[in-house]
Structure 1
Amino acid sequence: MRKIIAGLFMSLDGVVEGPGPADDFAAAGWSMPYFVPEIGQYIGESGAQADALLLGRATYQGFRAAFANAPRGDPAAAMMNGISKYVVSGTLTEADWVNSTLLGGDMVEEVGRLKAQPGRNINVSGSVTLIQSLLRLGLLDGLDLLVHPVVVGQGRRLFGDGLTARLALRETRTFSSGVVLLSYDVLADPAATSS
């Protein structure tokens, strides 16, 4: 069975998005001073282990704007345009970016169907609301956090009130800029399975 692995940039105080509107990718500018080539290499390695992306609406629209019409020869755009993308949204009526499919209906059923298909990992990037839902529903298999040595002070946090998770550390890595990778396997949450 395929695994769903979510990857996020996170500050030391747990901020993963903002401050600013959820669809403003520049709002996460706090992470840029810490980006070094080795982080890019890690992201490439992670991407090579997947053959699909699962995205929420805001991340899908942001990625589409950034990559759909990028110049030929841009390797990041080629990868993003070529990979299968599955979009979870209650507001979109179509997903018109190449290789994109809008998931409708019950999320547990739709995502379960994707996981049961043959293939490599399904990566989730950004899409905080989606990641929170996947955690609550017991559908997320892995969580890769790139923790940045900065305290942002405000913005959206992944782990808010009421969200629980049991995690097992799979890997750690320290990058030259002080960013630390914390890779976790998500374990079954007894609270989620008993309700």
Structure 2
Amino acid sequence: MRNLSVSEWISLDGVFDAETMPQWFMPYDSVSRQEWIRDGILSADAILFGRKTYEMLAPYWSRMKNNEMGISDKLNSVSKYVVSTTLKQADWANTTIIGKDVIKSITQLKQQPGGTIQIEGSAELVGHLQAAGLVDEYQLLVHPVIMGGGKRFFGKGMFRVG
């Protein structure tokens, strides 16, 4: 069975929203951070997105011709899946829309031959997959700042102890 790996960039208090990235993500750039991000993407055999993350990334990466560090070629050639009940068309090469029976479809995807399926961002989707027991691992790139507010990756009730 394929591994379903969640890759997230977050602040110490779990903030991950794109709107506040200049405050928590940008100031902590380093070669090791770039390599960690690159290695995660290059090791994935497929990428899974929620609609919002897909719509944020597809316009940028689908036009990217500079293959610095190998990321754009990988993202443009790898099999991609976007979960959406409203998206009618996915123009990014090698993208399949999963519009219904999401849990069943992703369970079947995990059962197909292949390597790691990596989820980028997509907290709402991750919450549903986690509740269904489909997430195998979390890879968190934690930035050394407490935001105090903003959209948090780990929503209420996402993880329960006991």
Q: TM-score scaled by structure 1? A: 0.76
Question: Residue 57 of structure 2 aligns with which residue?
Answer: 63
Larger radius of gyration: 1
Q: 1:157 to 1:73 in 2, by over 3 A?
A: closer
Q: 1:83 to 1:54 in 2, by over 3 A?
A: same
Say which of 16, 39, 48 aligns to 1:54: 48
Q: CA deviation at 1:111?
A: 0.1
Question: Residue 5 of structure 1 aligns with which residue?
Answer: 5
Counterpart amino acid of residue 65 in structure 2 = P
In structure 2, stretches of 5+ residues that fail to align are none
In structure 1, stretches of 5+ residues that fail to align are 21-26, 167-190
Q: CA deviation at 1:48?
A: 2.9
Q: CA deviation at 1:2?
A: 0.2
Say which of 32, 44, 60 aligns to 2:38: 44
Deviation digits for residues 77-117 of structure 1 (CA, Å, limit 9, x no counterpart): 21111111000012101212100000122111100111001
Q: CA deviation at 1:158?
A: 2.0
The structure with more strand, counted as a fraction of residues: 1
Question: Residue 95 of structure 2 aligns with which residue?
Answer: 100
Tell me how far apart the structure 1 counterparts of residues 154 and 92 of structure 2 sit (CA, whole Å). Answer: 31
Tell me how far apart the structure 2 counterparts of residues 11 and 115 of structure 1 sit (CA, whole Å). Answer: 29
Say which of 103, 107, 115 aligns to 1:112: 107
Counterpart amino acid of residue 46 in structure 1 = G
Q: Does 1:31 align with 2:21?
A: no
SS for the counterpart of 1:10 is: strand
Deviation digits for residues 134-174 of structure 1 (CA, Å, limit 9, x no counterpart): 111111111011111101121111222222157xxxxxxxx
Tell me how far apart the structure 1 counterparts of residues 57 and 116 of structure 2 sit (CA, whole Å). Answer: 19
Counterpart amino acid of residue 10 in structure 2 = M
Q: TM-score scaled by structure 2? A: 0.90
Q: CA deviation at 1:9?
A: 1.0
Q: How do 1:26-175 residues align onto structure 2 when only pairs under 5 Å count? A: 27-29=20-22, 30-71=24-65, 73-74=67-68, 75-164=70-159
Tell me how far apart the structure 1 counterparts of residues 160 and 126 of structure 2 sit (CA, whole Å). Answer: 12
Counterpart amino acid of residue 79 in structure 1 = K
Tell me how far apart the structure 1 counterparts of residues 66 and 156 of structure 2 sit (CA, whole Å). Answer: 44
